[in-house]
A and B are shown apart, each in its own frame.
Chain A
């Protein structure tokens, strides 16, 4: 509801100095000279100056607590003042006819200085005031909505009664305003709504960050994402792109006939990957539950049940540390297709990612943190053995099962003499397959900048993948790497329930061994309990899943794709925190 403004008399809370030369704001270009925060303008002393000077900025920092509290107090007074006049500082609704961007489009060809006043050019818009400059009988505001920005051109004589005074005294940067008026392009070329009436829709109580580049405090950007988004409109664009990417993924797989399903987050056993799960407790069941670490085992049950193409886009949880690539909860798509194998999943992966790139960037080349990436198909497909051989000269095929010999060669060739961590991780490998994978991670991974499918992983590190139809000891599995990062993981799915059981039991055995090692290590240290608690967690067999396989799962391929990482790649974001609206952060000190 628009609230009609009544005539009123109010004392000005502050004066507005008239600048000698008005500066007009330029549409899309972010204004460089705007006083961001109205703390100065609202100071009770009534002496502060708003607008005008290009570099004029309140000397005091708006983020200092006292200043912030002062602003808050003044604005709460304004709220009361508005109410005193019968105006609602928190309106109920606003009918708008256009978004800012629609107007910029429609009136693209309007000449400088031209004005349109016919009925059809009367528009209504709404958004947040992000800049303001006021003079004697003229005031300019920049209004930003979801789509972009537009200038409000406010002349005293065009407004009823003392609405102009309201604009100058009661409207602050940060307020949400609805405005109606005609269309005009200023002499300086700025498309504007020539305001004939307006209404404060929401009075803001806190000043926006005064530094133009928004928040320098990175931690605060993530903690108060909404401030980040107000101060840096491009941040909101990342989340728009994220939505578009997910939508494009859905379109792509649905056009291929995949059906979306939802499988449980809370599970009796956390399977489908090797990761520490979160544990919770269900009161009325009186039972511990795990948060899923993958959707794989339940989606495969769907294949057993006769769904031939299924997918799920959803949240996965892993109780692990934070980094620029890790958040405890993250989003993946997993998809499974009956009667197909990993070759066809490679094509599907290419299809999904290229379509997403085209949807958000309109092209297949992109810059990621200074590296130019080409997503032109086909992407390189190479076996892990060959990639390792290429990078290190080591031919792992010749070792057979001779782990000792393989380790010796690996240690020599990687020159791990100085790097204790690499050395010990190589020495810890329990099999040649593990070792091959380890050498791959150390020597190859980071170099795979252009999209590369790494094929045929050792069976020891691939407990859910089907044995390779031609190469013993390997599986039909690929991972996709771009910019040195794993983006996707897929295999021809293991369908043999007996083989599956053996592999999962082996995984549990290995895990227990590791735990035991950790316990004995920990017993040497003082802080025994803590270490054990940090390192060890239980891994259990998902018996239900194994039973499902015994009823017969069709030959199938499956793919898991990390959506956060894909969004990072396509939006050139350095950290996963830039693509998750509310990332998990360490507790504030």
Chain B
């Protein structure tokens, strides 16, 4: 404690005083300072501080002051975290006070303080960068035009015991961060962040949020996206429901589930991989428009676009079909982009930060391409009409060989088609594009197409080559549904563990009658990535799943190969189906 406090107070001394200190030593010193306060009967963690204004409110209220103005008669109370500390003498300390995404300068002048000079100096030498403080004082602007608060009372509310990662400061401290506000839809550059180390940013998100002002805007954008969807659906008389996250069967999609165990019931439970089947049961029950925004869980690898838990919105709309839903998708997404970004076009670093961002245009209507027709055209193929046949399978195996497109076994027709579509069609989908009318064999829960045999009324929306939405006219013929599950079982037996399992309760529900219904799913994380110029899903998850630290990587990769096909393919199945 003593060492931290009694240094000579030269210019910039406060900022420099701990510069060279070993982090452990720094922490020890802070602990000692706390212990000393407690021993003296002082509570270092006050219970409450009454703020009159948030920092953004304070800025808004006083930003129009003239340089040199001091409103000495006004008393304001604000609180936040000190992110920078300078002193020009033992009687004058400067701090940057951050809160609510804004900052204000604190100009602590011994002459304005309640404390006498000696106390003032001692107190301010004990205040550290990172501390959370409450300030009662008057507003004003410095001669250089910096909006400030001049404290009469300065209370430390909570202590930062660790040395903050060093803020990289250019000449002078009036760095430009506050004026340079990031807005959704514009490009970002995490390489320029104060805290750049990805491991630290994701593992200690609070540091990321403290030091990189933009990051809080990403999560606010995420919250706004969800909120927009909710309002959009509520406006159209949808009701939000909650269906189980733990089930006896993991249905509604094809993916490897998490398994857990209920002790008292001695029951094996799976974490849901999709809410689809339950939501359709509610439509059977008479709730004609339902939606659920929530977590899904897939026991798959972690990479740039996959996290074991992720958030989707699914909705089901009785008496509507996939045409209605395409229109609705265009309205919802273009409307959202317009509201959040001010226009239909966004910037996205699709080719890495080292290249210029591309532009993605959400102006409706979105392009629509017919899956099989377009594939045949682009790849110059003539796929046999009966896609369930051996012949079709053989034809597609050959096609993949011809174009050197890898499809690891099992080479089911569905998987082969998926590879070809990925190669030829998805690559063309930079602006929002509906790929429509998937074959029945790829879509066990979608209704057969009303006029095109072998196909379904389904669409997937691709943006920047990634699937964002998946929707269809729902299959509601229970006899056909059972048949499709039986076909899936065949694929399963041929080694495709992505094939769906039969859910008897769901089939029975269909026998009570599901009205004609359009169903829809959106991957919220992926959509958020687009609007926040994020190339890694971890950028849009507050606390992404991380590999355990200090784990040998060789063990990791061994494990992966034992588990089956790499995650990319597993997820390919889609968000919803």
The yes or no verdict on A and B being binding partners is yes
Q: Does A185 contact B (CB under 8 A)?
A: no
Q: Does B244 contact A (CB under 8 A)?
A: yes
The 8 Å CB contact of A226, one of B51, B132, B285, B447, is B285
Q: Which residues in window 2-25 of B have CB below 8 A to A?
A: none
List the B side residues contacting A281 at CB < 8 Å.
Answer: 258-259
- Whether B48 contacts A341 by the Cβ 8 Å rule is yes
- Whether A128 contacts B286 by the Cβ 8 Å rule is yes
CA distance A265 to B518 in the complex (A): 29
Q: Does B294 contact A (CB under 8 A)?
A: yes
The 8 Å CB contact of A230, one of B132, B285, B324, B477, is B285
CA distance A302 to B205 in the complex (A): 8
- Whether A259 contacts B223 by the Cβ 8 Å rule is yes
- Whether B265 contacts A322 by the Cβ 8 Å rule is yes
- Measured CB to CB, the nearest residue on chain A to B259 is A280
Q: Which residues in window 553-568 of B have CB below 8 A to A?
A: 555-556, 559-560, 563, 567
Known: A306-B216, A341-B48, A581-B242. A262 touches B542 (CB 8 A): yes
Known: A259-B223, A280-B258, A306-B216. A90 touches B48 (CB 8 A): no
- Whether B505 contacts A223 by the Cβ 8 Å rule is yes
- Measured CB to CB, the nearest residue on chain B to A285 is B547
Known: A246-B240, A319-B262. A205 touches B160 (CB 8 A): no
- Whether A279 contacts B48 by the Cβ 8 Å rule is no
- Whether A206 contacts B511 by the Cβ 8 Å rule is yes
The 8 Å CB contact of B241, one of A243, A259, A492, is A243
Most buried by A among B234, B288, B301, B513: B513
- Measured CB to CB, the nearest residue on chain B to A548 is B206
Q: Does A534 contact B (CB under 8 A)?
A: yes
Shortest CB-to-CB span from B547 to chain A, Å, is 6
- Whether B285 contacts A555 by the Cβ 8 Å rule is no
Q: Does A399 contact B (CB under 8 A)?
A: no
- Whether B560 contacts A284 by the Cβ 8 Å rule is yes
- Whether A204 contacts B513 by the Cβ 8 Å rule is yes
- Measured CB to CB, the nearest residue on chain B to A534 is B263
CA distance A478 to B536 in the complex (A): 41
- Whether B100 contacts A550 by the Cβ 8 Å rule is no
Q: Mark A75-98, 1 if CB is under 8 A from B, else 0.
A: 010010000000001111111100
Q: Which residues in window 499-542 of B have CB below 8 A to A?
A: 505, 508-509, 511-516, 518, 541-542
- Whether B286 contacts A89 by the Cβ 8 Å rule is no
CA distance A281 to B516 in the complex (A): 39
List the A side residues contacting B556 at CB < 8 Å.
Answer: 284-286
- Measured CB to CB, the nearest residue on chain A to B448 is A90
Known: A265-B297, A306-B99, A315-B245. A301 touches B205 (CB 8 A): yes
Known: A276-B263, A286-B559, A551-B162. A584 touches B246 (CB 8 A): yes
Q: Mark B242-269, 1 if CB is under 8 A from A, else 0.
A: 1111101000000010111111110101
CA distance A176 to B134 in the complex (A): 63
- Whether A301 contacts B259 by the Cβ 8 Å rule is no
The 8 Å CB contact of B246, one of A203, A283, A329, is A329
Known: A92-B457, A320-B264. A581 touches B278 (CB 8 A): yes
- Whether B309 contacts A278 by the Cβ 8 Å rule is no
- Whether B516 contacts A550 by the Cβ 8 Å rule is no
Q: Mark B198-214, 1 if CB is under 8 A from A, else 0.
A: 00000111111110000
Q: Does A218 contact B (CB under 8 A)?
A: no
- Measured CB to CB, the nearest residue on chain B to A90 is B477
Q: Mark B141-163, 1 if CB is under 8 A from A, else 0.
A: 00000000000000001111110
- Whether A236 contacts B287 by the Cβ 8 Å rule is yes
- Whether A306 contacts B264 by the Cβ 8 Å rule is no
- Whether B320 contacts A93 by the Cβ 8 Å rule is yes
Q: Does A398 contact B (CB under 8 A)?
A: no
Q: Mark A139-155, 1 if CB is under 8 A from B, else 0.
A: 00000111000000000
The number of chain B residues with a CB under 8 A from chain A is 124
- Whether A552 contacts B130 by the Cβ 8 Å rule is yes
- Whether A202 contacts B514 by the Cβ 8 Å rule is yes
Known: A282-B258, A498-B31. A492 touches B324 (CB 8 A): no
Q: Does A307 contact B (CB under 8 A)?
A: yes
- Whether B299 contacts A283 by the Cβ 8 Å rule is yes
Q: Mark A260-281, 1 if CB is under 8 A from B, else 0.
A: 1111111010000000101111
The 8 Å CB contact of B47, one of A203, A304, A544, A555, is A555
- Whether A284 contacts B302 by the Cβ 8 Å rule is yes
CA distance A584 to B265 in the complex (A): 10
- Whether B261 contacts A279 by the Cβ 8 Å rule is yes
- Whether B48 contacts A492 by the Cβ 8 Å rule is yes
- Measured CB to CB, the nearest residue on chain A to B101 is A306
CA distance A174 to B311 in the complex (A): 35
Q: Mark B311-340, 1 if CB is under 8 A from A, else 0.
A: 100000011110110000000000000000
- Whether A306 contacts B513 by the Cβ 8 Å rule is no
Q: Mark A325-351, 1 if CB is under 8 A from B, else 0.
A: 000110100000011110000000000
Q: Does B98 contact A (CB under 8 A)?
A: yes
Q: Does B412 contact A (CB under 8 A)?
A: no
List the A side residues contacting B116 at CB < 8 Å.
Answer: none
- Whether A202 contacts B210 by the Cβ 8 Å rule is no
CA distance A126 to B264 in the complex (A): 45
Q: Does B467 contact A (CB under 8 A)?
A: no
Shortest CB-to-CB span from A421 to chain B, Å, is 18
Q: Which 5 A-B pairs have the closest CB atoms?
A: A305-B209, A229-B285, A204-B513, A226-B285, A305-B206
Given contacts A223-B505, A284-B300, 11 further A-B contacts (CB under 8 A): A93-B323, A201-B319, A201-B515, A226-B281, A259-B219, A280-B271, A281-B259, A302-B209, A476-B47, A534-B264, A553-B132
The contact sample of 24 A-B pairs, CB cut-off 8 A, is A91-B516, A93-B324, A93-B473, A95-B319, A145-B286, A205-B513, A225-B282, A225-B285, A226-B285, A276-B263, A305-B209, A306-B216, A319-B263, A322-B265, A476-B47, A492-B48, A495-B158, A534-B264, A551-B207, A553-B132, A554-B49, A554-B132, A581-B241, A587-B265
